Amino acid sequence: MSEAGGCYERGPLNIEERSFDIIRETLRCYALDESLVDVAVRVVHAGADFSLASLIEARNDAVASARGALSRGGVIFCDVEMLRSGISRRECERLNLKPVSYIHDEDVRCVSEREGITRAMASVDKAVGEGVRIFAFGNAPTALFRLLERVEEGAPADFVVGMPVGFVGAADSKARLAESGVPSILIRGPRGGSGLAAACVNALLRMV
C-alpha cells in the first residue's frame, strides 16, 4: 500500500482529540475569556478557521446563563432543521432537552403566507407561544430580529445563540442582540451558519 493510501489517522476519536489539542494550543495566543475557550474550540473546529475565535462574543453572563437554562431541560428552538440535526442527541437526552425546528410545519407555513412574513419569523412566534426560552440561530436573520421584537414586547428568553449567516441583516441582527440585554453568544459580522451554531450549543451542553 502506498504512503498516501496507508499513512493517515483513521480513528474518529483520535482525529477529534488531536484536532482539539491543536486548536487549544493555537488559541493560547488569542485574548479569549476563559469561559469561552471550550465554545471557541468547537466553533473553530467546525469551521476549520481560527479567525472565528476573534469574532465570538459572550454578552450578559452568557455562559453561566446558558448552563443554568440547559440544566433545567426543556426545548431548544432552532431556526432551521440543519441546526437541529447538528445538536448532540446524546447530550440532549442526558439533560432532558429537545431541539426543535418549526420551519417546515404546516401551521407555520399558513401563518407566513397569511401575514406576509418569513417562515423563520412565524416559527419564532410559534416557539414564543409555546413558552420556549432557549433559542439558537444559524441561518435566518429575520428569525433573530423577530425574537428580539418579541422580547421587547415582554417575551422571556433565557439564552440565545446568535450566529445567523448572510450579507443582508445578519450582522445587524447580531449587533441588536448584543445590545438587547439577553444572555447570548454570537459571532460578529456576516459570518455564521448552522454548523457553527450547533458547535456552540454542543460545547455548552458538555459544560452542564
Residue 30 within any structural domain of the chain: no
User: What are the residue numbers of the active site?
Assistant: 45
Q: What is the mean pLDDT of residues 98-106?
A: 98
Tally of structural domains, the chain: 1
Residue 50 within any structural domain of the chain: no
Which helix (H) or strand (E) segment is 29 a member of? Answer: none
Domain span at residue 123? 55-207
Residue 101 within any structural domain of the chain: yes
Question: All 3 cell numbers of residue 32?
Answer: 479569549
The residues near 198 (Cβ < 8 Å, ≥ 6 apart) are 46, 83, 86, 87, 136, 138
Please write the tens of the pLDDT for every residue from 32-55.
888 999 999 999 999 999 999 999
Please write the tens of the pLDDT for every residue from 50-81.
999 999 999 999 999 999 999 999 999 999 99
Residue 64 within any structural domain of the chain: yes
Residue 24 within any structural domain of the chain: no
Whole-number Å distance between alpha carbons of 175 and 66 = 19
Residue 115 within any structural domain of the chain: yes
CATH number of the domain where residue 150 is located: 3.40.50.10230
Residue 9 within any structural domain of the chain: no
- What was the pLDDT predicted at 2? 43
- What was the pLDDT predicted at 16? 81
Residue 29 within any structural domain of the chain: no
